[in-house]
Chain A
Amino acid sequence: MMKKLAYFTLALVFAPILLGGVPMPVQASAEIGHLAPDFTATDIHGNEFKLSDQKGKTVVLEWTNHECPFVVKHYSTGNMQNAQEQATDQGVVWVSVVSSAAGKQGNITPEQALSIEKDAGAHNTTRILDQSGVIGHLYGAKTTPHMFVIDAEGNLAYAGAIDDKPDADPASITDANNYVLSALDDLAAGNAVATPSTTPYGCGVKY
């Protein structure tokens, strides 16, 4: 009897998968001015990354999808790489996150990620492949790119777009005001972030 019950419970567990997969939205719990949700993940170099271990340093989370036209705009012009370099030179930890689910646009293996970063000349600290979308849901990441800045105490200081030009045209980078770099400047000067939240733009994250 117990064995049968065990099998039936297994069946109940698999039934939703059979029915095409039940999306399990975790409630976003990232709020400006509050402690950013902690997470642990293995990055593409095989090392463990824990957000709370970064206390004392400013952290930037960059949601990305190398095939999204908006991400392409920032990478093909070198805009994102420059921002990464500027930030990491000042000791900021810059983490790129890929939350594309298996089979969806932007989903990559660690090897592919390493090669993409090498070709692009990326200056991020590391990249995390969040295939199950848990970290994306935790932060309420909606678009690629979607940027989050966490201050040295671990509080969320900025969430939103990378800049003020929601446009897929590379030419729009020229006069764009980069919200992330502004936020980092504000934090470095010991001030509150002037523009703590903006509406992000880009392709939808492919959960």
Chain B
Amino acid sequence: MRFFAFKTLFLFFLFLGASISAIPAFGQHTPEGPFVRYALVPEKTTIAPGEEILIGIAHTIAPHWHVYWLNPGDSGLPVRTKWALPEGFVIEDLKWPIPDKIYEGELANYGYYGQITLLQTLRAPQTLPAGVVELPVKITVLVCKDICIPESAELTLRLNDSQAPAQDNSALIKAAQAKLPTKISGDFSFSRADTKNEKRFALTLALKNPTVLNNLEAESVEFYPEEWGVLDYPAKPSVQIKNGTLTLTHKTLADRDWADLESVKGVLVYTDASGTKQGYALEAKKIAGPLTTAKTSLPPDATPAPASMPEKASTGLFLAIILAVLGGLILNLMPCVFPVLSMKALSLVKMSEKHPEVARQHGLAYTAGVILSFLVVGISLLVLKEAGSAIGWGFQLQSPVVVGLLAYLLFAIGLNLMGFFEFGNGLGNIGNRLTQKNNTSGSFFTGVLATIVATPCTAPFMGAALGFALVQPALVAITIFIALGFGLALPYLLLSFVPPLRGVFPKPGPWMDSFKQLLSFPMFASAIWLVWVISQQSGPEGVLVTLLGMLSFALAVWLSHRSIKSAVASWILRLSIALLILIPVTSLAYMKTKAEDVACLVKTYDFGEHFTPAKLAHELEGNKPVFVEMTAAWCITCKANHASSIGIPSTRTLFDLHNVTYLIGDWTNYNEEITTYLEKHGRNGVPLYVFYGAKNPATGKRPAPKVLPQVLTPTIVQNAIEGKI
């Protein structure tokens, strides 16, 4: 019973994937609050009549949860404080630190993760009663992760308490003030600037001090308005900087009538050269549209190139293409791809002896298969990013379902190479079939297969090329993906076009069978590695169900090859096979659930601590140097770097000597905080190494953070820590 023809197997895996995505997680994560803790931090604990002091309302938010800014965005509620003030006291409006833009599915919000401090100015009356002043406050927030929970707390601030020790929190208040947006002056205006396809909001800033704009990377600039109905939050703006004027256009939904909107206050945020997020508070007045800037007019539907990097872009692109082709080439040597390539190459050699003219067709078909598959992956990545997903390269491995599917696929290919079963028209047929003219479509599909099995393996150079690609405009990114595919297909393409190369291979013979079986071992090794990744993502239970799934799959294959005479028994056999297939399917669904639980756990390391943005912010407020490492279980470069340059005794001693705080961010599973941190540093994937030097005691400032290269050596790390480079 030829149950498992190649195409059926192919379809089976695809169906698996489709059905798994539709299965809801087995049971929701029921969270227990409270998710926000508060502290009232007055500038000082005494207040004189008529005096003004700043009060800090410090929030500590549970990891992965967030609260909202003054304008929460598409949904949510801002933090609110309600003071029950004694007579004569006045409290001013909340002062908000620069928020983050948080994407929740297709909606976008403005809010905060980790640790933030809001500020309010308190003014005492001219006649102050003697004794303790009690100021009760009720703080209400909406704290959300994927679901939302309203929380509130009632605290009391006590001032002028002669029994309590005097506190001076001015350092903490200063630190909180540093996170507020700074004021700038100039001529600021906004208007509608609709094109025929899209409604747009246009902001023009003619700055009094235009040198401020030199610090900006135009690509990172965004405007967060305090008013509703001004922007379509999930969209990204296009920004042009010319002659000291910044023009920002952003899609709007026009769900608000602007007739009564005379001015819009907001924050202009951007990332500076050292990768830190900065913000300017400004108020723009409404003017009549359509908008024309002083010297240039904005062409409709055009995406202006970032003003700061025209030259850098072209050399960068050229280099990235070279790196991509190299990376693709080296991918052929990786244990996941090498067996597929070898078998294909051998079949080409054997077949081209009898039909040399077809060789080139096969080469072209294979290359087409590879490049098209890379295009599909690349386009999916770009579409997902456009839709606002905080993903980077390697994102496909952050889903345990995908890792599980790949593990099953590699296992199945290993079984096939071992000779456990045959595909109808695929990889391994060394026998008579090869001597016939194979259809070139077989080569096309092998190309697709080669790409699929290549995705869990990354090669040196690939990371750099891809990281570059994903922050570029779509057309550039696609070019790099094509280059990568070309690199992967190049060896086979050369073999098919250059007959002398084929002569290098030994004459076909019985050794081919042994070689084929030998190749099953690197395949199994790759599957084993993926099972290890699953152990990181879904725990030991994930490993168990995956291995059981593999076992039941092998059993199903074996059963399908038994020939049964009786009709009843034949039906029982088919039923058993169907049931056995169900096991891998359910295992994938189970792993999806498990991963959601595992992702929230705080990891402990024997060298290093778990990274959270809050922890980093807290450490940066101190004096010690900080070393941040972003890694993932499926990232081989990361593991290699860690083993060769960080986990070694000399580096441990070095960290000890310089009192370095070492934070490790684990991106094995999808993690918005880490993705945001990566983007802050212009990166899209792991690894990322950032070193923050110690605070200079004279100036109280740290040097600019240093981003280390993606391939580390102990010397590079040493030089960074010792401040030599």
Contact surface of A with B, Cβ cutoff 8 Å: 1, 3-5, 7-8, 10-12, 14-23, 25, 28, 31-32, 67-69, 102-105, 107, 140, 142-143, 159-160, 166-169, 196-197, 199, 201-207
B10 and A7 within 8 A (CB):
yes
A17 touches B21 (CB 8 A): yes
Name 12 interchain pairs, CB-CB below 8 A, sorted by A: A4-B439, A11-B10, A16-B380, A18-B14, A22-B384, A25-B387, A168-B142, A169-B150, A199-B228, A204-B104, A206-B146, A207-B106
The reply to whether B377 and A19 form a contact with Cβ atoms under 8 Å apart is: yes
Contact (A69, B380) CB under 8 Å given A28-B253, A204-B104: no
**What B residues does A69 contact at CB under 8 A?**
142, 148-150
B448 close to A18 (CB less than 8 A):
no
In the complex, which residue of chain B has the Cβ closest to the Cβ of A196?
Answer: B257
Whether B18 is near chain A, meaning CB under 8 Å from some CB there, is: yes
**Residue in A16, A107, A140 whose CB lies within 8 Å of B253:** A140
- Chain A residues whose CB sits within 8 angstroms of the CB of B396 once the complex forms: 19-20
> Does B50 count as interface, using CB distance less than 8 angstroms?
no
* A142 adjacent to B384 (CB under 8 Å): no
Q: With A12-B376, A143-B74, A203-B148 known to touch, is A103 a contact of B402 (CB < 8 Å)?
A: no
Contact status A102-B10, CB under 8 Å: no
Closest to A101 in B: B105
Other A-B contacts than A11-B448, A22-B384, A205-B107, 6 sampled, CB-CB below 8 A, are: A10-B11, A20-B399, A105-B147, A142-B74, A167-B140, A207-B106
Rounded to whole Å, the gap between the CB of A16 and the closest CB of chain B is 5
Does B255 sit at the interface, judged by CB under 8 A? yes
Most B Cβ at <10 Å: residue of A4, A20, A31, A142: A20
Contact of B25 with A by CB under 8 A: yes
**B contact residues, total (Cβ < 8 Å):** 56
Are A197 and B105 closer than 8 Å at their CB atoms? no
Main secondary structure of the interface of A (DSSP, over half): loop
CB pair A197 B377 closer than 8 Å: no
**Do residues A67 and B377 form an inter-chain contact, with CB atoms below 8 A?**
no
- Given contacts A7-B7, A22-B380, A199-B256, is CB(A1)–CB(B441) below 8 Å? yes
Q: Which residue of B lies closest to A140 (CB)?
A: B253
Binary CB contact string for chain B from 1 to 42 against chain A (1 if under 8 A, 0 otherwise): 000000100110011011001111100100000000000000
Report A-chain residues with C-beta under 8 Å of the C-beta of B495: none
Q: Are B24 and A102 in contact (CB under 8 A)?
A: yes
Interface residues of B in 97-144 (CB under 8 A from A): 104-107, 109, 140, 142, 144
Q: Is the CB of B22 within 8 A of A67?
A: no
Which partner residue on chain A sits nearest B255 by CB separation? A197
A87 and B383 CA atoms in complex are apart in Å by 42
Contacts of B254 in A (CB 8 A): 31
Q: Mark each residue of chain B from 365 to 392: 1 if its CB lies under 8 Å from any CB of chain A, else 0.
A: 0000000000011001001100101000
Q: Is B714 an interface residue (CB 8 A)?
A: no
Cβ 8 A contact of B21, one of A1, A7, A20, A67: A20
**Which 3 pairs across A and B sit closest by C-beta, in order of nearness?**
A103-B24, A168-B150, A204-B75
Q: How far is the CA of A159 from the CA of B256 in the complex (A)?
A: 10
Q: Does B522 contact A (CB under 8 A)?
A: no
Of chain A, the residue at the smallest CB distance from B105 is: A207
Which residues in chain B, 343-370, are within 8 Å of chain A measured between CB atoms?
none
Q: How many Å lie between the Cα of A175 and that of B632 in the bound state?
A: 52
Report the bound CA distance from A117 to B250 in whole Å.
Answer: 41
Give Cα A18 to B405, complex, Å: 9
The reply to whether the CB of B415 lies closer than 8 angstroms to some CB of chain A is no
A68 CA to B395 CA in the complex, in Å? Answer: 30
Q: How far is the CB of A127 from chain B (nearest CB, A)?
A: 20
A14–B444 CA distance with the chains assembled, in angstroms: 18
